[in-house]
Amino acid sequence: MGVEPIPCWPGRLVDVGDASIHVRTTPEGPAETAVFVHGLAGSATNWTDLMGELAGDVRGVAVDLPGAGYSPAPHDGVYSVDGHAATVARLVERIGGPVHLFGNSMGGAVSVRLAATRPDLVSSLTLVSPALPDLLPRYGPARVVMSATPRLGELAMRWLGSVPPERRVRATLSWCYADSGRVHPQRLQEAVEEVRRRDGLSYSAAATIECARAIVREYFRTGPDNLWRQAARVTAPTLVIYGLRDRLVHARMARRAGQVFPDVRLVTLPYAGHVAQMEYPEIVAAEARGLFARTRASMRRSA
């Protein structure tokens, strides 16, 4: 399938106060830093190729949220968008902000909350298919709601555990990619090995279920902490990317994002699904560079 993909970036555990989280980083060099936040059942490796594309522009730091990837489960066993946002905030404080913040799916929701509540930590915001509230019934989001339902979620995870890892990975890719046939065999094998590894972790299934429940809670959250209301308070220049073939986050939400975020550029990719940063990293990188340039120009004007 053409050029071999780059290897995953090296990772390490970082102490962020009341927790240790695993992060993967590109080499130091660029003066600016970007922090990347993955989605439900994802990990820092979801950003490997985009981080490679941007390695000459920013130093990349991709986080495994608590209970995901190589990060241990939270001490209190509680998973929430608030908790994830607080963890990422502590990471940014440790490495030094403000940073260019990237979020995909659930990581997009986490990133919106962080950008709205801690604008001092975020110089720009890039969202790829962010999981912002959309209550119109669709099959993809309905699967998330089903997995979050008490008892039903646990039963579903137990059943999934009996399905061979490669079948599970292929099913996930078919939902997240517009064309899963574009996945390089090496990336497929990496994903299968990761599923096998996580099958051996006592908290893996609970982490997935509880994060799904956290997303559902946010969809029904009202008041000033509703994610769309927080999006309206984001001051950082924002880039929002939607795939027109996304089965999980409908691209019609682009219109609402354009109306809500104060300083936003919208991009819709006709042939992308839910993880454009993995399907078309070179396109997402080009758009991100444009955002970086716009952010720098804005900072020079306000200086």
CATH number, domain at 172? Answer: 3.40.50.1820
Residue with tokens 């599923």: 195
pLDDT of residue 67: 97
Return the HEC string of 182-210. HCCHHHHHHHHHHHHHHHCCCCHHHHHHH
The string of pLDDT tens digits covering residues 246-297 is 999 988 999 999 999 999 999 999 999 999 999 999 999 999 999 999 998 8
Using CA atoms, how far residue 198 sits from 186, 201, 205, 288, in Å, is 18, 5, 9, 32
pTM, to two decimals: 0.93
CA distance 236 to 261: 9
pLDDT of residue 159: 47
pLDDT of residue 141: 54
Q: Which domain holds residue 111?
A: 11-302
CA distance 217 to 212: 9
pLDDT of residue 30: 87
Q: Residue 5 domain-assigned?
A: no
SS3 225: coil
Angle between helices 152-161 and 139-148 (to 10 degrees): 100
Q: Residue 244 domain-assigned?
A: yes
pLDDT of residue 142: 47
> Can you list the residues of the chain whose pLDDT is less than 70?
1-2, 136-162, 302-303
- Count the domains in the chain: 1
The string of pLDDT tens digits covering residues 196-226 is 999 999 999 889 889 988 998 999 899 999 9
pLDDT of residue 160: 57
Burial class (CB in 10 A: 0-12, 13-18, 19+), 40: buried
The H or E element spanning position 238 is strand 238-243
Q: Residue 211 domain-assigned?
A: yes
Q: Residue 224 domain-assigned?
A: yes
Could you give the angle at the alpha carbon of 252 between the alpha carbons of 249 and 257, nearest 5°? 90
Q: Residue 192 domain-assigned?
A: yes
Q: Residue 53 domain-assigned?
A: yes
Q: Residue 3 domain-assigned?
A: no
